[in-house]
């Protein structure tokens, strides 16, 4: 029996890699995709999503979702990822005339959950605006979902601020709504994604696959590793693909129950995921937080999946 998944995403190269790994895994059944503003404005993340789908010839429906965070002004990661959020060391994703399905992403994900009571996992790889809007629009949604699995937050350091991770920082009110929705949440924060590292050896392995698609992907992976090179490092953390690896290979991870709250007010701490691990003594657990990953094994699994989807 395969796990049925709805992907909510803001591509971004690491979102592309995560999506590719989802498609590569026979035990994971992707039923739909909603796109959200995040790494770049919605028009750009949506264009990226449609180009990725066209490149691979996938047929999964892609829906446009929310354009702005619930409360605050939009922020993007274009300062790090470049104007298109899809930097490349060579070839660029080909343009496509493809359009999204007409239904709004929020309604589409609600409909997908209602069609599969108790079976659908929401995999969220961007700011949580679409999910929070769906929970507000459909009070029956929490009881319908199997789980929300998300890349976001951190148990320790942040990336956008000292303590806030980008996906939470980009819409803290939405994140607070999701952690408080009463759905089982599984959180893959920076603390665990930084244990999964990608470097030049992986770029070379993808390039060696030799197909046009693999060379195109390798050029983007090269540029992604380039973010670390510019900072004097050699390896980048693998963010969005990490929860996909867990969905397929949970034995490679350790998770701990916690109560996660999102700080909405702190002048220095807005967008921080405050993780109370002293559960149930001090708080009711609402999340399983990933704390350990076998990084080399996750990367070996990723390369096998990429070989299937890029060949």
Residues that bind ligand BDR (CB under 6 A): 12, 14-15, 39, 77, 125-126, 151, 159, 165-167, 239-240
Q: Which does 263 bind (CB under 5 to 8 A by kind): ligand BDR, Ca ion, none?
A: none
Sign of CA dihedral 298, 112, 40, 170: negative
Q: Which does 165 bind (CB under 5 to 8 A by kind): ligand BDR, Ca ion, none?
A: ligand BDR
Min dist CB 208 to ligand BDR, Å, is 26
Contact pattern from residue 13 through residue 32 relative to Ca ion, giving x for each residue in contact according to CB under 5 A and a dash for the rest: --x-----------------
Strand 185-188, strand 197-198: pairing: unpaired
Q: Which does 159 bind (CB under 5 to 8 A by kind): Ca ion, ligand BDR, none?
A: ligand BDR
Nearest to Ca ion of 81, 141 (CB atom): 81
DSSP 8-state code for residue 145: E
**CA–CA separation, 54 vs 38, rounded Å?**
21
Min dist CB 254 to ligand BDR, Å, is 21
**CA–CA separation, 134 vs 113, rounded Å?**
11
User: Residue 257: enclosing H or E segment and its boundaries?
Assistant: strand 253-262
Nearest to ligand BDR of 64, 144 (CB atom): 64
Backbone angle region of 236, left / alpha / beta, with phi > 0 → left and psi within -120 to 50 → alpha:
beta
Nearest to ligand BDR of 69, 126 (CB atom): 126
* Contact status: 65 vs Ca ion (CB under 5 A): no
Report the DSSP beta bridge partners of residue 147: 121
* Contact status: 4 vs Ca ion (CB under 5 A): no
Min dist CB 10 to ligand BDR, Å, is 6
231 class by beta-carbon count within 10 Å (0-12 exposed, 13-18 middle, 19+ buried): exposed
Q: Which does 25 bind (CB under 5 to 8 A by kind): Ca ion, ligand BDR, none?
A: none
SS3 for 187?
strand
One residue of 50, 77, 110, 125 binding Ca ion per CB under 5 A: 125
Contact pattern from residue 165 through residue 204 relative to Ca ion, giving x for each residue in contact according to CB under 5 A and a dash for the rest: ----------------------------------------
Q: How many residues does the chain have?
A: 311
Nearest to ligand BDR of 135, 239 (CB atom): 239
Contact between 286 and 261 under an 8 Å Cβ cutoff? The reply is no
Q: Which does 171 bind (CB under 5 to 8 A by kind): Ca ion, ligand BDR, none?
A: none
How would you label 187-211 residue by residue, b for 16+ Cβ within 10 Å and e otherwise?
bbbbbbbbbbbbbeebbebbeebee
SS3 for 45?
helix
Contact pattern from residue 133 through residue 172 relative to Ca ion, giving x for each residue in contact according to CB under 5 A and a dash for the rest: ----------------------------------------
* Contact status: 127 vs Ca ion (CB under 5 A): no
Nearest to ligand BDR of 144, 198 (CB atom): 198
Contact between 167 and 100 under an 8 Å Cβ cutoff? The reply is no
Min dist CB 188 to Ca ion, Å, is 11
């Amino acid at each position: 029996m395969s796990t049925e998944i709805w992907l909510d995403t803001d591509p971004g190269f690491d979102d592309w890699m995560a999506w590719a790994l989802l498609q590569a895994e026979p035990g994971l059944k992707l039923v739909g995709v909603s796109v959200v503003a995040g790494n770049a404005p919605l028009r750009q993340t949506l264009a990226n999503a449609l180009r990725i789908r066209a490149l691979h010839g996938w047929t999964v429906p892609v829906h446009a979702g929310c354009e702005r965070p619930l409360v605050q002004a939009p922020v993007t990661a274009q300062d790090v990822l470049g104007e298109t959020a899809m930097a490349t060391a060579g070839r660029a994703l080909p343009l496509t005339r493809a359009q999204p399905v007409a239904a709004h992403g929020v309604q589409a994900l609600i409909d997908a959950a209602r069609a599969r009571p108790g079976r659908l996992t929401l995999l969220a790889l961007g700011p949580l605006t679409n999910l929070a809007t769906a929970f507000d629009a459909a009070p029956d949604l929490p009881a319908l979902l199997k789980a929300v699995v998300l890349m976001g937050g951190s148990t320790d350091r942040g990336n956008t601020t000292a303590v806030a991770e980008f996906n939470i920082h980009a819409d803290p009110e939405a994140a607070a709504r999701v952690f408080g929705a009463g759905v089982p949440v599984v959180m893959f924060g920076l603390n665990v994604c930084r244990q999964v590292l990608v470097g030049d050896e992986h770029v070379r392995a993808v390039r060696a696959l030799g197909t046009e698609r693999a060379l195109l992907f390798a050029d983007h992976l090269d540029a992604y590793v380039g973010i670390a090179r510019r900072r004097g490092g050699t390896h980048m953390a693998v963010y969005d693909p990490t929860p996909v690896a867990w969905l397929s290979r949970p034995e490679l991870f350790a998770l701990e129950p916690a109560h996660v709250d999102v700080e909405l007010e702190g002048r220095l701490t807005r967008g921080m995921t405050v993780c109370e691990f002293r559960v149930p003594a001090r708080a009711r657990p609402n999340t399983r937080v990933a704390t350990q990953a076998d990084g080399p094994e996750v990367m070996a699994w990723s390369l096998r999946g990429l070989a299937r989807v890029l060949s």
